[in-house]
């Protein structure tokens, strides 16, 4: 996608600058790992509450 095709886009639709995209892709596995750990912690933390709630059929 060249600069001529992205000039008319609003700021919230414009692609990331190349350097930001490179850094984000380089550390994507770290971001995914942090999200998975956070999700697992959330389930672990709320297990007592899950046990008290009735199962909705």
Per-residue pLDDT reduced to its tens digit, 6-45 = 677 787 877 888 899 899 999 999 999 999 999 999 999 9
Please report, for the chain, the start and end positions of each structural domain, with discontinuous segments joined by +.
16-57
Contacting residues for 16 by C-beta, under 8 A, at least 6 apart? 24
Helix (H, G, I), strand (E, B) or coil at 17: coil
User: Between vectors from CA 42 to CA 40 and to CA 46, what angle results, nearest 5°?
Assistant: 120
**CA-based max dimension of the chain:** 58
Q: What pLDDT score was predicted for residue 31?
A: 93
Helix (H, G, I), strand (E, B) or coil at 49: helix
Helix (H, G, I), strand (E, B) or coil at 57: coil
pTM: 0.57
Q: What pLDDT score was predicted for residue 3?
A: 52
Q: What pLDDT score was predicted for residue 52?
A: 85
């Amino acid at each position: 996608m060249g600069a001529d095709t992205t000039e008319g886009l609003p700021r919230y639709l414009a692609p990331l600058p190349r350097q930001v995209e490179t850094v984000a892709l380089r550390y994507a596995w770290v971001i995914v790992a942090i999200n998975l750990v956070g999700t697992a912690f959330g389930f672990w933390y709320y297990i007592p509450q899950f046990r008290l709630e009735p199962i909705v059929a």
